[in-house]
Each structure stands twice: as C-alpha cells, then as structure tokens.
Chains A and B, each alone.
Chain A
Amino acid sequence: MMGYRYLRRRPKTVASEVDEELRVHLELRIEELRARGLSKADAEREALRLFGDLERTRRYCRRQDEHREDEVQRTLMFQDFMQDARIGLRSLLRAPVLSLTIIIITVGLGIGATTAIFSAVNAALLRPLPYAEPTALVRIYTDSPPFKFRFSAADFLALQEQQTRFTQIAAYTDRSMTFSNGAIAEVLNGRLVTPAFFGLLGIKPALGRDFTEADGHPGSPQTVIATYEFWQRRLGGRADAVGTSIKLDGADYRVIGVLPRISGPLERRRDFFVALQISPPTRKGPFLYTTIARLKSPQTRQPLSTNCAPSIAGSFRSGNRRIRTTKPHGAWTT
C-alpha cells in the first residue's frame, strides 16, 4: 500500500462546513425579513421559527457528510489497492516461475487439507522470506467447499499424530493479553504457538532458547519468547531478562528467549509468543488454529503431486474414503 495520497477531511471540517452553510442561510433569511419591515429581533426570531429544528438538522447534516467522507475515502483506498495489486501482479509475472507456484490440494475428508506455498504468497509482497527453505513451507486449511477453515485443537492433534507427508507441522492462534509489570498494564498482541513453530520456520532465538516439546505440555510452567521490539521496549533490552518471569493476563510466564530483530510475516505485529498448551479437547470446535507445515522436499516447479493428496488423506483419519483432488491453482500466474 502506498500510504495516503488523499487527505481526509476531518469531522471538524465537516462540522464547521455545515455550521457555515446554515448560518449563511439564516443570515439571508433575516435580511429578507428585515427588508419586509421586521425589526432585527423579530426577524431573527422569525428566521429561526421558519427554519424548524436547527440542532437536529445540524446533527443530521454532519452525519450525512461524515458518512459520505468515509465512503469517498473507502473508494479512493480501494482504487489505490487495485493499483497496487496491478503493480504487484506485474512484478510477479517478471519473477522466476519457481516463486510463483501456488498449490492448493484439496482432499476430501470431513476435513481435508488445502495447502498454499508460503513463498508465493509472500512474493506478492515482494519480500524474501526470512525463513529456511521457504518453498517447503505451506499453510494447511481444512476443506469443506466452498469454505476453508482453520483447525480445531482436535483436528490439529489428529493431524500431528497421523500425518506423514510433512516433516513438521505447527499451529498458532492470536490473543490479546495484558502485560503488567507493577508500574504499567498494557494490552499487547500475543500469539500462542505450538512448540515446533519457530523450529519449523527455521528461526533461532537471538537470545535464550526455543520452545521445546515440554513447554507445550499442559501443566508445564508457562513460557514466552519475546520479540526483539518487546524486549527492547518493555524488558529493558537486557540479556538477563531471559529467565525472568513476566505477568500476562495476571499469570506468570517465564521469558525463555528473544527473537532476532528481523521478522517475517508470521511474527510481524506481534509482541510476544507464548507456548500453546493444548489439553486433550473434549469437543470438535472451535476452529482457532492456523496450521503451517514444512514439506519433506522443497517445491520445484511441479505442483505438489496429486498422489500426495491421497497420502495426506490416507494418513489422516482413516474411515473417510472420499478423496478429491483439485487441479493446482495458479491464481496469480494467469
């Protein structure tokens, strides 16, 4: 996005414009009445009487104008966005074919999997991914056409246990959490991740350690990895912050690591990462977890071969025989 090229008229401007318009109207009306012989005081009173409910009208007109401003703004931003999208598309078309491959495999099952290569998504943003072998990274959705859903805890645990197609899978979900240190309390953006999350992406903490399997066990001490920015801003940027405890939503979390300064799309706009502890679910929903995975071999230009769909399907929840494979989906290449 190119930023605001259009200056928005502030509500204050809208309000003062309405006021001015109505004031001019009353002045003209008073002049007319005085020309007919009314005294100044009488003319003013009569002008207001003829007008009707001035205050209500003022509010109504302001509201209409503000709505209109919003609509105009939205239109302009949308035009900007389309413009940017066209520029992005052109750069994509010039990019090597490898990074363009988008694959969506659909396997039927009450739950299937839809995967999309990450680097292709990120190519749209024209930034290299700071992850190890990004072409092997995929995002998986459960599939129930026409919808794509995130995973429930039950789905994720089942997939983790049964899948053979990926070297690793991880899930995450976002949560706003209140950080407090006695002096301040502030609502921050946390992301709850399964322990394999950073390992899967190939990110090593700059300080301290990564999450381990044990951190994800329900009942283990709660652990958190800080982003570089959060560490600087709230933990004093000191190395000995690692190993201390911080309060999130009133509970103690041990700071076990700090991320490197460079961040990719999966860490951006987050303040910290908490090890997700999934208790054995008692029901199917809710579908909170975005799931990412690493393929056994990085993608070549060939889309994920269709026989991998049955292999995911076959290894994930036996009993469901309905298998459907869609054609590789090249939305951005055509």
Chain B
Amino acid sequence: MATLPLPLIQGTLDLMVLRTLSRHAMHGYAIARAIHDRTAGELAIDDAALYQALHRLHRLDLVEAEWGPSDNNRRARYYTLTPAGRKKLREATSQWRRYTRAVDAVLQGA
C-alpha cells in the first residue's frame, strides 16, 4: 500500500525552497518540515539536498542568511528571499506551470 516517494526532478527543489521562504524567514529545519508537510511526503527530499540548495541559493544572492534565536534558545540560521530571489521565484514558477501544462496536454490524450 505504501508507495515509494518520487525522485526529485532536477531544479524543482530550488523552486520549492524559494516558494517556502516567500512568506517569512525560516531556518533549514523548518523549511524541511514545511516542504515535507505540503508534499505529504510524496517527494524524496533528503535534508542533504535541502541544505545544499540553501547554500547554493545564498551564493547566488537569491536568499539572505542571518543567525537568530530559534524556538528553544538555539542559534539557527534564518533564510529570507532577496529581491532577486523573489524575481527568480516568479519566473521559475511561471516556467514550471508552462512546462507541466505542456506535458499534461500530451499526456491527456494517452
């Protein structure tokens, strides 16, 4: 009955991370939880890939990182979107929609 989580399509993790951060600043663990909850565990995203994505996005100046206190008095690294990150999110979202619509259109005839 339990199905295996789906492998991730290249590039989609960056997009999901940007979307998750679009509302407010979050640390890595919270992002992992949020994505896992929203996808109902359907996607196989290990934490390793998530942190690599965060640091990659940071390097590209799409997210900003800042240390701050977490819920239980730990120091956590909080990420927020930069204006460039917000722009990237808009573009990538619309591209993704076009992409899935196109694939869908083909698949509907199948």
Partner of B46, one of A20, A21, A27, A50: A50
Partner of B55, one of A28, A50, A54, A64: A64
Instruction: Provide 25 A-B residue pairs closer than 8 Å at the C-beta atoms, listed in order of the A residue.
Output: A17-B77, A18-B55, A20-B75, A20-B77, A21-B76, A22-B51, A24-B70, A24-B74, A28-B70, A28-B74, A29-B29, A50-B46, A52-B49, A54-B48, A56-B48, A57-B48, A60-B55, A61-B51, A61-B54, A61-B55, A64-B56, A64-B59, A65-B58, A65-B59, A71-B59
Given contacts A21-B28, A53-B46, A57-B48, 6 further A-B contacts (CB under 8 A): A21-B51, A29-B29, A50-B46, A51-B47, A52-B46, A61-B55
Q: B76 touching A68 by the CB < 8 A rule?
A: no
Q: B51 touching A25 by the CB < 8 A rule?
A: yes
Q: Give chain A's interface residues, CB within 8 Å of chain B.
A: 17-18, 20-22, 24-25, 27-29, 50-54, 56-57, 60-61, 64-65, 67-68, 71
- Interface of A, secondary structure class, is helix
Nearest B residue (CB) for A56: B48
Of listed A27, A61, A65, A71, residue having the most chain B CB within 10 A: A61
How far is the CB of B32 from the nearest CB of chain A, in Å?
8
Interface size on B, residues (CB 8 A): 20
Bound Cα distance from A171 to B54, whole angstroms:
54
How far is the CB of A20 from the nearest CB of chain B, in Å?
7
Residues of the B chain whose Cβ atoms lie less than 8 Å from the Cβ of A65: 55, 58-59
| A51 and B48 in contact, given A17-B77, A24-B70, A29-B29 (Cβ under 8 angstroms) | yes
Q: Is B52 an interface residue (CB 8 A)?
A: yes
Residues of the A chain whose Cβ atoms lie less than 8 Å from the Cβ of B49: 52
Q: B29 touching A25 by the CB < 8 A rule?
A: yes
**Which residues 35-88 of B sit at the A interface, judged by CB distance below 8 A?**
46-49, 51-52, 54-56, 58-59, 70, 74-77
How far is the CB of B25 from the nearest CB of chain A, in Å?
14
Bound Cα distance from A57 to B76, whole angstroms:
17
Q: A24 touching B47 by the CB < 8 A rule?
A: no
How far is the CB of B88 from the nearest CB of chain A, in Å?
16
Partner of B52, one of A27, A29, A60: A60
How far is the CB of A39 from the nearest CB of chain B, in Å?
21
Nearest B residue (CB) for A60: B52
Q: B47 touching A50 by the CB < 8 A rule?
A: yes
| A21 and B77 in contact, given A28-B29, A29-B29, A52-B47 (Cβ under 8 angstroms) | yes
Residues of the B chain whose Cβ atoms lie less than 8 Å from the Cβ of A52: 46-49
How far is the CB of B30 from the nearest CB of chain A, in Å?
9
How far is the CB of A319 from the nearest CB of chain B, in Å?
56
Q: A68 touching B28 by the CB < 8 A rule?
A: no
